[in-house]
Chains A and B, each alone.
Chain A
């Protein structure tokens, strides 16, 4: 049996999905976290069902690719039961979609999610009355706390077995405006508005969206976030690194120095150590902080505040989501451009998002610049990155004139993040690093050790010598730069391998470190991001964007070099 979850953006579909399927779908308190469908087999009441989490859609006739994906799935696949997840606090608009789903004439359940929020806002919903009127089961749910989940799925099972469509008390209407009127009328009839208690949630926006304080707080939040990531990373990195150094020494002690086995093992150990000691200490707190901000619902507020500024780079505030996701990883950032309606916006947002330093490049910046020059230097480099992105955006938007009306974005209510959800989210992404990136780091490091042993690494170095020469970098950094295209972490890990030391200060001057970090920050996104670009925008766009990043990287790091020379 196949059960599909569908609902308007940010109604908690993925939260419900994760409650039954384990943490498999990304969640966040803003529209459009889910851009493609996730399927999972789950066991309900002794039966295995295929559960599908579809991207949020205000309507099945939506224009954004994420919405089209949802509609396509419902039309093409054999779905036995549709669970329409609705945010009970906005029942009037949620019913728009419910009434549209009636048109599909498939077994349908309306699941009223966030009943706790509704109660807090003084809303009382007559679920039975609504169920009679619509002719479909209506079930209460608090997905975030797991309440009502079991009953909901037992109901779905029952409905799927009986294969009954809905009783036609309401004639499905194919006109959207008519449905909207009916939805409003239904909501008026079955929702009683009680006394609305003003909560901190209502007052929070007065501060966070304040024309002056809002921006000050935004800067403060970003600064504290940065300091926290740096503080934790710096605390953890040295002892772990020391541990691995000692471990490597004792492991390699019985081997003859300079032998092939010695060099390979050394390479492997450097890869292992880099993953645990250099990447994870920064990646984990970063993902934790990002997860917190996502679940609180702060990101759409950032979009609201940044809209005016984003217009100056030819985009609107909604494109801030790919940007912010980009700091975690460019792949979801590129994928999240699907929530933008216009192809031109998607292209521009994707191109600019690949210039955002992801967590892997963060490791390079922190491992080199912050570690040796202090956190302020890293912060300045991040600001410089923003300036460059703004400039590139301006130039690109001149080439691709804007014809879109601009921002339309729903502001979710603030929610208190649950530790469980945030930690599962962090684990979801850290696991990805451990499973996919870390082995690549280790293999890459071993491959480089082999290349070094047979003295063939020089060929790679020679290939990119024009670039390294222009930037005043030692030719040996050519290999880490090339391998950095595979995984960005490699450009740091293999740097230690190429230079033969993890103490970068002894091998590179300060200027060289900053220039190198700047170049790594901008040049060709990693292979996974390139693949995502190709999937979303096509091969040509991918090549153009990759070429663009090289030009930008060269210009930016040359500028840094010149400034450093003058200083």
Chain B
């Protein structure tokens, strides 16, 4: 499932990023494969998503979110 399709307030785990460039960039913000996150808000008109990861909140543009693959899991750390 793509992060852009993830349901609100469900904890999901990052299983991959489609572009290696983007993966590198996300990792520089401290977002890695295997991290658990939660979509807490979604802006209208294809706007960005607000996600919570490791206690921090990030805005991710819709096009970014479309390239992040996630799966629904129960994460221990949450």
Binding site for B on A (CB under 8 A): 8, 58-59, 61-63, 67, 89-90, 92-93, 96, 121, 176-177, 180-181, 184, 187-188, 205, 209, 211, 300, 303-305, 307-309, 311, 316-317, 341, 405-411
Count B-side interface residues using an 8 Å CB cutoff. 34
A187 to chain B: closest CB distance in Å? 8
- Point out the residues of chain B lying under 8 angstroms from A181, CB to CB: 32, 34
A contact face: mostly helix, strand, loop, or mixed: helix
What are 29 A-B contacts with C-beta separation under 8 Å?
A: A8-B30, A62-B28, A63-B25, A63-B28, A89-B55, A96-B30, A121-B55, A176-B32, A180-B32, A181-B32, A184-B54, A205-B41, A211-B44, A308-B48, A317-B48, A341-B25, A406-B60, A406-B61, A406-B62, A406-B64, A407-B61, A408-B59, A408-B60, A409-B59, A410-B29, A410-B56, A410-B57, A411-B57, A411-B58
A534 to B77, CA, bound (A): 48
- Is B9 in the interface zone, CB < 8 Å from A? no
Contact assessment for B61 and A307 in the assembled complex, using a CB-CB cutoff below 8 Å: yes
Given contacts A58-B30, A209-B41, A408-B29, 14 further A-B contacts (CB under 8 A): A58-B28, A59-B27, A63-B24, A96-B30, A176-B32, A180-B30, A209-B50, A211-B43, A304-B43, A307-B47, A405-B22, A406-B48, A406-B62, A406-B63
A8 to B61, CA, bound (A): 21
Contact assessment for B26 and A408 in the assembled complex, using a CB-CB cutoff below 8 Å: yes
List the A residue with the shortest CB-CB distance to B40: A205
Partner of A408, one of B54, B55, B57, B58: B58
- Is B72 in the interface zone, CB < 8 Å from A? no
- Point out the residues of chain B lying under 8 angstroms from A90, CB to CB: 54-56
Contact assessment for B56 and A58 in the assembled complex, using a CB-CB cutoff below 8 Å: no
A8 to chain B: closest CB distance in Å? 8
Partner of A407, one of B28, B30, B54, B59: B59
A311 to B43, CA, bound (A): 13
- Point out the residues of chain A lying under 8 angstroms from B45, CB to CB: 308-309
Binding site for A on B (CB under 8 A): 19, 21-22, 24-30, 32-34, 41, 43-48, 50, 54-64, 67, 77
B41 to chain A: closest CB distance in Å? 6
A93-B30, A96-B30, A205-B41 known; A411 vs B59 contact (CB < 8 Å):
yes
Contact assessment for B28 and A59 in the assembled complex, using a CB-CB cutoff below 8 Å: yes
A330 to B26, CA, bound (A): 29
Partner of B54, one of A61, A92, A309: A92
- Point out the residues of chain B lying under 8 angstroms from A411, CB to CB: 50, 57-59
Contact assessment for A304 and B48 in the assembled complex, using a CB-CB cutoff below 8 Å: yes
4 shortest A-B CB distances, which residue pairs? A406-B61, A407-B61, A308-B47, A93-B30
Partner of A177, one of B27, B41, B47, B62: B27
A466 to B56, CA, bound (A): 56
A304 to B45, CA, bound (A): 12
Contact assessment for A405 and B63 in the assembled complex, using a CB-CB cutoff below 8 Å: yes
A76 to chain B: closest CB distance in Å? 21
List the A residue with the shortest CB-CB distance to B55: A90
A304 to B50, CA, bound (A): 8
Contact assessment for B59 and A304 in the assembled complex, using a CB-CB cutoff below 8 Å: yes
A93-B30, A177-B33 known; A300 vs B44 contact (CB < 8 Å):
no
- Point out the residues of chain B lying under 8 angstroms from A303, CB to CB: 59
Which of the listed residues B25, B32, B47, B62 has the most CB atoms from chain A within 10 Å of its own CB? B47
